[in-house]
Structure 1
Amino acid sequence: MDKKSTETNTEKNKSRNPILAFLSALFVPGFGQIYNGQIKKGILFFLIILIVPFIFGLIRFGVFFEGFIAIIIVDFSFRIYLIYDAVKNAKKLKNYKPKSYNTWYYHLSIVIGISTIVWFYDTNSIVGVKSYKISSTSSEPTLKIGDRIIADLNAFDNTKPNYGDIVIFQKKDSLNPWVYRIVGLPNDKFEIQNNFLIINGKKCKTLFIKEAKSQEFNVNEYEEELPNGHKHKIYTFKKPFEDNKKNLPEITIPKKSYFLIGDNRDNSMDSRYIGVINKDEIIGKAVFGYWGKTNERINISFINK
């Protein structure tokens, strides 16, 4: 081979830049491999990222704390491997002959295509869970400010919402979701007297627990039992913000609607203010908390609370 042919061949062969491989794999799953000329591997890795959430959703892995943590570990580990694999192979390709798709316009179209799929790919709906952050004291003492909770988005696919369920919902005229407890079911005759519930003519059992604090306010803590036997803790302020919300004349809850109320009875913008919640406004059911401001807020089940 003469000198001119060698120079021409050198111009055609290019090394792969490990930094570009790293960035490609970091921001676009599978693209780091495509950048390295491994298009089949890149497509395979991208398909794995799309398919695995369906598997997690089918076995409902994310509705348990341990399963949720496993999902995070698996997803994080695989994405790290994608980056490692891309960088490792890029370092080996010192004399790489670019493929037909290793052009800026092909790369751009691939990035746009993958990014479009990822944009419309709703992982939360597929896995069946979604994370929410508690930003108010309206559901104390069960939910605290700063708690990160997981909602089961498919909780009511085959069962109806019931007394005691803590649900996430969004009113049609609201920009943000809310979190409260179901205390009234469709067709119930519902009443509130001095912050305590009367459902279908029977007063819910309450047991005084202790005096406590909600932020800087003095409260009484009670255990309340709903008609299905579900027990949970509630707060009532010693000096409520609005006395007129401690009582509610008897109403009949409409069909396919639910009465939701905060456990922090005197500090909750619930159905007493915003009205009953329709079934189609309920997003999911809170099943556990995985993080909070203290260690005690890690791995808290809300199934029986």
Structure 2
Amino acid sequence: MKKLKGEWLDLLKTLLIVLGVFLIIRTFLFLPIVVDGPSMKPTLHNGDQMVVNRFIYDIHEPDRFDVVVFHASEKKDFIKRVIGLPGEHITVKDDQLYVDGDEVEEPFLQERKEHMPSYQTLTNDFDLEQLPGGYETIPDNHVLVLGDNRNNSTDSRILGLVSMDKIIGKASLVYWPLDRFQLIHD
């Protein structure tokens, strides 16, 4: 009887340790998220389940084209792609991204652009000054984000620039559904 009681205590201790490790990982390192809406198609689809790396931006700042999750409001988190970084001026003209006046390719949009009618654009023209806030350059600790589905995305063109303290983390991996399993890359 004592042996059985000891085995149950060992099992309970093991379960508590596993639960504690799980909570630490989930709270500080990785967070599961479900994509809600079409704004990141074709990269991410509505209902995709993914892992967000919560600690990466404690190590370094976001890079251009990182896919990030951020608090858009107190009740809603959004998933978008970082397009502009602090100190930069962003313009989109004739479906071409310009950073500080230099053309920058967006390879993740190429396939979509190729399948669009010639009279249609994926991204309407804009300058940074036309966005909420009217900035000439992106201020420190802020980024400009856009959805990959530019015609159907609530992003910096509407919300304004995103403060770094609103960013939860970087999207790392789609794990469900299995046929969409993929690492998220730039």
TM-score past 0.5 threshold: yes
Q: Report the counterpart of residue 42 of structure 2 in structure 1.
A: 141
Q: Which amino acid aligns with 2:104?
A: C
- Structure 2: segments with no counterpart, 5+ residues: 130-136
**One of 164, 175, 180 as aligned partner of 1:297:** 180
Contact 1:142 1:233 in 2 (8 A): no
Q: Which amino acid aligns with 2:153?
A: S
Q: How far is the alpha carbon of 1:264 from its aligned partner?
A: 1.0
Q: Report the counterpart of residue 188 of structure 1 in structure 2.
A: 88
Q: Does 1:162 align with 2:63?
A: yes
Q: Report the counterpart of residue 132 of structure 1 in structure 2.
A: 33
Q: How far is the alpha carbon of 1:52 from its aligned partner?
A: 3.6
| CA distance in structure 2 between the partners assigned to 1:51 and 1:139 by the alignment | 34
More helix, by proportion: 1
Q: How far is the alpha carbon of 1:46 from its aligned partner?
A: 4.1
Contact 1:156 1:284 in 2 (8 A): yes
In structure 2, the residue corresponding to 1:157 is in which secondary structure? helix
Q: How far is the alpha carbon of 1:132 from its aligned partner?
A: 1.2
- CA deviation vs aligned residue, 1:241-279 (integer Å, no higher than 9, x gap): xx9x71212441111100000111111111000000000
Q: Normalising by the residue count of structure 2, what TM-score does the alignment of the two structures yield?
A: 0.79
Q: Report the counterpart of residue 124 of structure 2 in structure 1.
A: 246
Higher RCO structure, 1 or 2 (CA under 8 Å, sep 6+): 2
Contact 1:196 1:203 in 2 (8 A): yes
Contact 1:195 1:265 in 2 (8 A): no
Q: How far is the alpha carbon of 1:162 from its aligned partner?
A: 0.7
| CA distance in structure 2 between the partners assigned to 1:174 and 1:192 by the alignment | 30
Query: Greater shift after overlay, 276-285 or 150-159?
Result: 150-159
- Structure 1: segments with no counterpart, 5+ residues: 1-35, 54-120, 206-223, 225-230
Q: Report the counterpart of residue 280 of structure 1 in structure 2.
A: 165
Q: Report the counterpart of residue 232 of structure 1 in structure 2.
A: 108
| CA distance in structure 2 between the partners assigned to 1:297 and 1:50 by the alignment | 29
Q: Report the counterpart of residue 134 of structure 2 in structure 1.
A: none
Q: Which amino acid aligns with 2:64?
A: Y
| CA distance in structure 2 between the partners assigned to 1:296 and 1:176 by the alignment | 27
Q: Does 1:45 align with 2:45?
A: no
- Give every structure 1 segment of 4 or more consecutive aligned residues whose post-TM-superposition deviation is greater than 3 Å: 36-43, 50-53, 234-240
Residue-pair matches, total: 170
Q: Report the counterpart of residue 29 of structure 1 in structure 2.
A: none
Q: How far is the alpha carbon of 1:159 from its aligned partner?
A: 1.0
Q: Which amino acid aligns with 1:137?
A: P
> What RMSD in Å do the two structures reach over aligned CA positions?
2.5
- Between the aligned residues of both structures, percent identity stands at 26
Q: Report the counterpart of residue 133 of structure 2 in structure 1.
A: none
Q: How far is the alpha carbon of 1:140 from its aligned partner?
A: 1.1
Q: Which amino acid aligns with 1:246?
A: N
Q: Report the counterpart of residue 179 of structure 1 in structure 2.
A: 79
Q: Normalising by the residue count of structure 1, what TM-score does the alignment of the two structures yield?
A: 0.50
Q: How far is the alpha carbon of 1:296 from its aligned partner?
A: 2.9
Q: How far is the alpha carbon of 1:194 from its aligned partner?
A: 3.1
Q: Does 1:197 align with 2:82?
A: no
* Higher Cα radius of gyration: 1
